[in-house]
Amino acid sequence: EDQVTQSPEALRLQEGESSSLNCSYTVSGLRGLFWYRQDPGKGPEFLFTLYSAGEEKEKERLKATLTKKESFLHITAPKPEDSATYLCAVNQAGTALIFGKGTTLSVSS
């Protein structure tokens, strides 16, 4: 049973077309939720950590939010350079990170 599910698997946007990526989780005792960006052929790059429901973090055109069951990564007015795979991971008490399979975002000009 998947503990971290990301949707959609792939998302195509036009430049400037805002949207959201979803990460839902079923783990108990959440100790943190993490968002990463991964470019093809490279290692994941850390973006945000969220610890409690209601928390929000922002970085440039990205804003991450957290509820008790899911997190959203909102992308406002995306640019082609935002094209990447976005990974979500959760830290359950006493274990290493559990990763979702990612959402591949393509932004065309």
User: Which position among 87, 103, 105, 107 is part of the footprint of another protein (CB under 8 A)?
Assistant: 87
1, 60, 94, 109: residue in contact with another protein (rule CB under 8 A): 94
Residue whose structure tokens are 């993490």: 34
Q: Which of 19, 40, 16, 29 is nearest to 102 (CA)?
A: 40
Give the tokens for residue 66. 């957290």
DSSP three-state, residue 33:
strand
Q: Which of residues 29-58 bind another protein (CB under 8 A)?
A: 31-32, 34, 36, 41-46, 49, 51
- Residue placing its CB nearer to another protein in the complex, 41 or 54: 41
Cβ neighbors of 61 (< 8 A, separation 6 or more) are 75, 76, 77, 78, 79, 82
Exactly one of 75, 100, 105, 107 binds another protein (CB under 8 A); that residue is 100
Name the residue type at position 88. Answer: C
Chain position carrying tokens 């100790």: 31
Shortest distance in whole angstroms from residue 41 CB to another protein: 7
Residue 91 CB, nearest approach to another protein (Å): 6
Binding site for another protein (CB under 8 A): 31-32, 34, 36, 41-46, 49, 51, 87, 89, 91, 93-97, 99-102
